[in-house]
Structure 1
Amino acid sequence: MFPLLYLSDTASSIMQINLVLAIGMVVPLLLSPRNNLHRALLFGACGVLTIRYLHWRASETLAPFGLTLDCLASWSFFAIELGAALSSLSAFVILSRVRERKQEADRQANWWQGEAPRVAVLIPTYNEDREVLERTIVGALALDYPNFVIYVLDDSRRDWLEDYCASQAVRYFRRSDNAGAKAGNMNHALGRITETGEVPDFVAVLDADFVPHSNFLTRTVALLQEEAVGLVQTPQHFFNADPIQHNLGLSRSYPDEQRFFFDHIQPSRDAWDIAFCCGTSSVIRWSALEAIGGFPTESVTEDFLLSLCLKNAGYRSVYLNEALTEGLAPEGLREYITQRARWCLGQMQIARSKLGPFSRNNLGLADRWSVVDSVLFWSTTFPFRIAVLFFPLLYWYFNILVVEATLPEVLRYFGVYYLWILITLNFISGGLVVPVVNDISQLLGAVPITRAAYSGLFFARDRPFSVTAKGGNRSRVIVQWQLIVFFGALFLVTLTGMVLAIASDLFVFDDSGQSKVVIMFWTFYNLLVLGVTILVCIELPRRELHLGDRPERTYLRTAEGRVRVWIVGLTQNSVRIRGASVADDVPVEIEIEGVGPVRAVVTTPNVDGARLLLEPTPEQYQDLLKRFYTTGDVPSVTSTRYSALIADLARRLSRPQS
């Protein structure tokens, strides 16, 4: 009788999974991701299924309460999972609305009467290479706004940079110390600008590695017509692949890790009036900065704190979801992890500050919720990712079950809940939430981020500010041995425990029933995630690549005459052509749209083309920078191409060190 009941139960669970899949296939045909009612229905269902799942976990899967290791393990894992679920529920509420301000920016374009408001463009810099700074400064000089002044704020006191700024007619500031890090650097500039008497109406902030599109100020200042708007934030886009994209070979099929936040979380936060500053690519009202005493220095994430300070003083932050700048994503795993650990630490410092959610201040309920939501995300998501890897080991080595459930129950409660959330998130985001890849992005920095979360939340001592390194030589394979040893050890311990438990009568725990099957599937998934994570820790060489490049027709001049060719690859220093056979080491001239005829030397020729080493004049070099970074729309992939992603992953897995 029992096998029949089990089969019936399994069939019922599979039917529920199939029903969710069927509804998921219909959703794109009937609903719109930009309709707030539709979003509320979808995320409302996510909330209901989450609560249903948690009720099942609490009532049917936990060990009996008592002084036992089973109870300690089972209840502690549930507590960690409950925290992560609360963070998800908060995110579902935020994502249930969305607001786009493109039409508002269109309506309010050129709202000023007479002379355009004056804008001070601040470019704070610490240790960036000349190549990085050149493209940012050249891009800023190409802004089409009629009234702005550029200030380069050098916290490394470099004479060559002062000379370069003078050659570009750009103003240069340096100070004697580095107190307050980036915020302190910008506050020093505000004081110097005040002393000159040339006080602007607005202040734009560009990180040293972020290049503005020519219409950056025109579009953002349009939203500052209303006096109550203190800040306009725009998304960050990247012209290079982040470490996960690059090391898995996914730069043309899977977006960067921050796309979900900038393209979907921030517009939803804007709908709740809790969008916040993200440092670069923002414009702030000068009078609002005066009202709050300048950029805050109490947190290493001064940008989020700036939005709270503005809100506390009666000003709003709004979000314009347009690609108006593009910058350099962290290229190495160390920099990637360090950056996120710093963001986490800064959020915890804010939670403890006078603008924390439970402090006496002028913040409204939504803003307090905004801080709580951020704290929940950093303090629960990453510890849960660690727990998911470690808790199955308790079963394989010590016969301790953390989840007592049958496979049909897991399908009915967890499967339905997880599948619907995937469907909903991918529907509103264009497929950005991909299992395994998404898990890796959280797992890589889980340990340092968890450490930063709880040390920042419970210990008030100051910690040194760490600048994210950008640029540099990335032309060779770099193996992150410390990370590989950690994740590799976890992989081996997990695999060994499961193999021993299956192969040896001593470790076969028959009394665990069907829960053993659940743990086994859980373990297989962990092994898959760990295996691919180890692959990501082998950092592949990089070359300059522009994801928006398209082949274009042009002319090549040689000693024999003028020939029509295709440009199939263009960088700041070289161009690859197809359609003509040319000799090695021969001087030529190639016409590049927006730049003109550029002198070059042929290198590495082949049967139907060659690579040319460019020799542009200084003016042509600046025109190349403008062409690459100051025009066009989104410079990178913004939605997942699943067929290409699978092919790219298969190619990368087949060549682990290529």
Structure 2
Amino acid sequence: MSLSEHTRQLPSLSRVRTPSKSITIHRTTWVIGIALSIFIVLAIAWHAGVEPVEQFFSKLDIWLQHPHVWLELPHEKSQWLLIPTLILTSVVLLVMKTSPRPKTWSRLIVVAILLALIIRYMIWRSLSTLNLATPGDGVVSLVLYGMEMLFLCSNIVQLYLLLGVRHHNAEADRLQITVLDGQYQPTVDVLIPTYNEPPEVLRRTIIGCQAMDYPEAKKAIYLLDDKRRSEIQALAAELGCHYMRRPDNRHAKAGNLNHALLTTNGELVVVFDADFVPTSNFLTRTVGFFQDSSIGLLQTYQSFYNHDPIARNLGLEKVLTQEVEIFSRHGQVLRDSAGTAICSGSSFVVRRQPLEALGGFVTDSLSEDYFTAIALSAQGYRVVYLNERLSAGLSAETMVDHIAQRLRWARGTLQAFFIDANPITIRGFSILQRLAYAEGLFQWFSSLFRIFLLFLPLICAWFGIVPLRMVHQEWLYFIVPFYVIQLVSFSWLTERSRSVLLSDIYSVAQCFPIAITIVQTLLNPFSIGFRVTPKGQTRDRLQFNWRLAMPLIVTLGLSMIGLWHGVRLALMDDAELLAIVHDPNLILGLRFVWIGVAYNALIIVVALMTLIDLPHPDPYEWLAIERVAALQMGEQVVWGTTTQISEMGMQVQFSQASTWDVYSYPFGMSVRLSLPEESLDLEGTITQVKTLDGICELGIRFRNLNLSQQRQLVTFLFCRPGRWHGQSVPGELRSLWLALNVLFVQRLLLRRPIEPAPLQVSQV
């Protein structure tokens, strides 16, 4: 049955795809507007001295200054108050040492400790720390409290989901047997939507898709060209895949995919973005899951074969993982435990029948992938996440494109509040699923919170406002254990995908544009259309993104002034500070406000460095692969080892430099080279000669590559199972050292290498 027939027969499902903009948009906007208006009116009334409002907050402040007995400190001596922190930290460190990777028992212990500390902290914050002495203090204190509670609730949801984590790798091992044996081999349509990606990017993707292990009679590959380019049509003909175009670009990527569904008929549909190359075992590892008729969609891990622009610009390519690593390695696993895994738009498999029953991919949002998975789940189908690196693509290559991509994701995801496929309200979900989706939606609001935290220490330093009422003993007893355990366990719980400090650098670098996008989306959610992230670009010079940097530069300038004020407050004696705040419980906050300002200033400076895009003159990505290589130069054959390889060249090291005159072989000289382990023979040209400590390294560019050699190179470089591996980020102290090193060594001492580093991969 065709897609159009399904759509006609199931008109009720069109509600999933058609937003009730005239009702839903106004309702959502009004709810947010009314809530903000009530808070603003109360704040103004409080400042104006309206008696009922003033009396209410005055009585509440008096009540908060006399907390319950179980919130009182057990001992006044500071050293005794640190005992809970020392005990809990020791327990967590012991668990992490015994179980280097989280297991069910170790995860349960750490999560239980964190949940207990969070609940304890929330109670203390709610009943003891609000400062409502004056309207200025009260407004700031309540805003901080509200934001903190929102994100602590989000944290609780994440921790609860951690308790149900399960992986499907063993299941994939079992199910792939039926695929390899031919017992279960449904027909598969592989769709590659493209708009403006260059031919060299599409070439490797098509070759990679053709190299997937699966019967050719049951696998069809379609290149969906939404820009209707003759050179791309010629590329498809050269490589032997189907080519499709449509007369318009309606609904962007979702419309392109839906157009292809009309003329294809495979039982399963696989989608790869134009830059994603699958490993050869992609289908054998995924197709078997669909023997279970309840599974509607399977999403796989997304790896990348180039460096994150933030890591690249900071010179930390060998240290930092991709920003989306924390999503693929941690966030997706969490959501899968609740049955709310997210479709990421590439490297996924979907069952055609339920997809057509929905009317195709959802077209109401910029995030067609996200809402299509939601719609399938709401109809009773399972969306499964397979935590295996079965493909790799190109991440955004500049900070402008990196942030623009995040803005599209933010806008598309938050459009959930304005369409009928809202996962919080749509029928068919459990309470836990709704909470999991809500937690994901509210994660975008962390940018607003981060901006508030950038300015909070400045407000305190300039105006003498203290949002928390506490003495230093309370700080030791309630705050220190909560934050220390969070810092110690964060990287471990997230499978070493990110540290708190490094996450903060990423957050600050993009918090202003994301915050603006959030506000724009809440006011006018459908004002901006789909924008394709450019891939395969080159640039030959440094580029500083002034437009993105200006809010950070202004904030940094204000922070420098605030730091001076903060240091001045820190040097005052208690009597002088008491004259400012009129409460001894508020002195601690003023005395140490400079620490918050200094920390923010450090993060802002490092974030500004991420906005300096380094040159990237080569459109091809280099992988750090070592293979024995033989070079025939004239009559001489020299053996060496490759250090990095791309589709167009390689670097080869020789330890025999003393036995032959490397400089007798000039630039531009033709050579024949062979990789015996790969049965690969190529021709090339010398483009670079380097010697260091008796080691010679030649740069060689391939030439006269035929199609067979291109296929060999692509499958060797990108399609080997196990090629892509993750790396572990450093802990918090080493992350701090790296940030300081970037600031004082790489930049101030100009020791930053400009030449891109090859991507570290498995030597399979």
> How far apart, CA to CA, are the structure 1 residues paired with 2:740 and 2:79?
33
> How far apart, CA to CA, are the structure 1 residues paired with 2:737 and 2:468?
35
Post-superposition offset of 1:636? 4.9
> How far apart, CA to CA, are the structure 2 residues paired with 1:412 and 1:449?
36
Question: Is residue 2:692 matched to residue 1:626?
Answer: no
Post-superposition offset of 1:314? 1.8
Q: Is the 8 A contact 1:254 1:637 kept in 2?
A: no
> How far apart, CA to CA, are the structure 1 residues paired with 2:75 and 2:592?
16
Post-superposition offset of 1:336? 1.4
> How far apart, CA to CA, are the structure 1 residues paired with 2:164 and 2:569?
54
| Amino acid in the other structure paired with 1:331 | E
In structure 1, the partner of 2:166 is 99
> How far apart, CA to CA, are the structure 2 residues paired with 1:644 and 1:82?
30
Question: Is residue 2:620 matched to residue 1:534?
Answer: no
The residue correspondences of 1:465-544 to structure 2 (distance < 5 A) are: 465-503=530-568, 510-511=577-578, 512=581, 513-542=587-616
Q: Is the 8 A contact 2:305 2:394 kept in 1?
A: yes
Question: Is residue 2:400 matched to residue 1:331?
Answer: no
Q: Is the 8 A contact 1:351 1:375 kept in 2?
A: no
> How far apart, CA to CA, are the structure 2 residues paired with 1:248 and 1:135?
29
Q: Is the 8 A contact 1:405 1:514 kept in 2?
A: yes
In structure 1, the partner of 2:88 is 20
Give the direction of change, closer, same or farther, for the CA distance of 1:451–1:617 in structure 2 (3 Å limit). Answer: same
Q: What is the CA deviation profile of residues 400-443 of structure 1, one whole-angstrom value per residue up to 9, with x for unaligned ones?
A: 22223334433432221122123333223343332331101112
Post-superposition offset of 1:577? 1.6
- Greater Cα offset, 543-552 or 202-211: 543-552
Q: Is the 8 A contact 1:86 1:376 kept in 2?
A: no
In structure 1, the partner of 2:666 is 584
| Amino acid in the other structure paired with 2:547 | Q
Give the direction of change, closer, same or farther, for the CA distance of 1:452–1:86 in structure 2 (3 Å limit). Answer: farther
In structure 1, the partner of 2:271 is 205
The structure 1 residue matched to 2:447, chosen from 382, 394, 413, is 382
Aligned-partner SS, 1:266: helix
- Greater Cα offset, 366-375 or 170-179: 366-375
> How far apart, CA to CA, are the structure 1 residues paired with 2:128 and 2:570?
29
The residue correspondences of 1:132-143 to structure 2 (distance < 5 A) are: 132-143=201-212
Q: Is the 8 A contact 2:623 2:646 kept in 1?
A: no
Post-superposition offset of 1:154? 0.7
- Greater Cα offset, 293-302 or 593-602: 593-602
The structure 2 residue matched to 1:252, chosen from 295, 299, 318, is 318
In structure 2, the partner of 1:185 is 256
Q: CA RMSD in A?
A: 2.6
The residue correspondences of 1:413-428 to structure 2 (distance < 5 A) are: 413-428=478-493
Give the direction of change, closer, same or farther, for the CA distance of 1:52–1:27 in structure 2 (3 Å limit). Answer: same
Q: What is the CA deviation profile of residues 87-127 of structure 1, one whole-angstrom value per residue up to 9, with x for unaligned ones?
A: 21221112222111111111112536657211000000111
Give the direction of change, closer, same or farther, for the CA distance of 1:647–1:557 in structure 2 (3 Å limit). Answer: farther
The residue correspondences of 1:241-640 to structure 2 (distance < 5 A) are: 241-359=307-425, 361-379=427-445, 381-457=446-522, 459-503=524-568, 510-511=577-578, 512=581, 513-542=587-616, 549-579=624-654, 580=657, 581-582=661-662, 583-585=665-667, 586-592=669-675, 593-594=677-678, 596-607=680-691, 608-618=696-706, 619-640=708-729
Question: Is residue 2:144 matched to residue 1:77?
Answer: yes
Q: Is the 8 A contact 1:392 1:523 kept in 2?
A: yes
- Greater Cα offset, 72-81 or 170-179: 72-81
Give 5+ residue unaligned stretches, structure 2.
Answer: 1-72, 582-586, 753-764
Post-superposition offset of 1:133? 0.9
Post-superposition offset of 1:467? 1.7
In structure 1, the partner of 2:295 is 229
Aligned-partner SS, 1:575: strand
- Greater Cα offset, 555-564 or 603-612: 603-612
| Amino acid in the other structure paired with 1:149 | A
Post-superposition offset of 1:85? 1.5
The structure 1 residue matched to 2:746, chosen from 647, 650, 655, is 655
Q: Is the 8 A contact 2:85 2:481 kept in 1?
A: yes
Q: What is the CA deviation profile of residues 346-393 of structure 1, one whole-angstrom value per residue up to 9, with x for unaligned ones?
A: 2221233223245352333333223212222112x2211111101111
| Amino acid in the other structure paired with 2:148 | E
> How far apart, CA to CA, are the structure 2 residues paired with 1:115 and 1:371?
33
> How far apart, CA to CA, are the structure 1 residues paired with 2:690 and 2:345?
46
| Amino acid in the other structure paired with 2:686 | V
Give the direction of change, closer, same or farther, for the CA distance of 1:294–1:20 in structure 2 (3 Å limit). Answer: same
> How far apart, CA to CA, are the structure 1 residues paired with 2:327 and 2:569?
47
> How far apart, CA to CA, are the structure 1 residues paired with 2:75 and 2:746?
42
Give the direction of change, closer, same or farther, for the CA distance of 1:505–1:227 in structure 2 (3 Å limit). Answer: closer
Q: What is the CA deviation profile of residues 582-621 of structure 1, one whole-angstrom value per residue up to 9, with x for unaligned ones?
A: 3223211111343622111122223423211221422212
Q: Is the 8 A contact 2:374 2:423 kept in 1?
A: no
Aligned-partner SS, 1:516: helix
- Greater Cα offset, 481-490 or 349-358: 349-358
The structure 2 residue matched to 1:54, chosen from 115, 122, 125, is 122
Give the direction of change, closer, same or farther, for the CA distance of 1:632–1:337 in structure 2 (3 Å limit). Answer: same
- Greater Cα offset, 203-212 or 440-449: 440-449
Aligned-partner SS, 2:297: strand
Q: What is the CA deviation profile of residues 173-209 of structure 1, one whole-angstrom value per residue up to 9, with x for unaligned ones?
A: 111111111111000111122xxxxx11100000001
> How far apart, CA to CA, are the structure 2 residues paired with 1:415 and 1:634?
42
> How far apart, CA to CA, are the structure 1 residues paired with 2:742 and 2:635?
43
Give the direction of change, closer, same or farther, for the CA distance of 1:462–1:370 in structure 2 (3 Å limit). Answer: farther
Give the direction of change, closer, same or farther, for the CA distance of 1:548–1:651 in structure 2 (3 Å limit). Answer: farther
> How far apart, CA to CA, are the structure 1 residues paired with 2:132 and 2:477?
23
In structure 1, the partner of 2:245 is 174
Q: What is the CA deviation profile of residues 441-485 of structure 1, one whole-angstrom value per residue up to 9, with x for unaligned ones?
A: 112222232233344345454432222222211342111112333
Number of residues paired by the alignment? 647
Post-superposition offset of 1:266? 1.3
Aligned-partner SS, 1:599: strand
Give 5+ residue unaligned stretches, structure 1.
Answer: 194-198
Q: Is the 8 A contact 2:188 2:266 kept in 1?
A: yes
Aligned-partner SS, 1:235: strand
Q: Is the 8 A contact 2:130 2:469 kept in 1?
A: yes
| Amino acid in the other structure paired with 1:560 | E
Q: Is the 8 A contact 2:622 2:646 kept in 1?
A: no
Q: Is the 8 A contact 1:238 1:326 kept in 2?
A: yes
Post-superposition offset of 1:268? 2.5
> How far apart, CA to CA, are the structure 1 residues paired with 2:426 and 2:325?
34
> How far apart, CA to CA, are the structure 2 residues paired with 1:234 and 1:529?
33
| Amino acid in the other structure paired with 1:490 | T
Identity of aligned residues (%): 29
Give the direction of change, closer, same or farther, for the CA distance of 1:124–1:9 in structure 2 (3 Å limit). Answer: farther
Give the direction of change, closer, same or farther, for the CA distance of 1:606–1:447 in structure 2 (3 Å limit). Answer: closer
> How far apart, CA to CA, are the structure 2 residues paired with 1:596 and 1:179?
44
Give the direction of change, closer, same or farther, for the CA distance of 1:507–1:651 in structure 2 (3 Å limit). Answer: closer
> How far apart, CA to CA, are the structure 1 residues paired with 2:106 and 2:450?
30
> How far apart, CA to CA, are the structure 2 residues paired with 1:461 and 1:265?
27
| Amino acid in the other structure paired with 1:472 | Q
Post-superposition offset of 1:542? 3.4
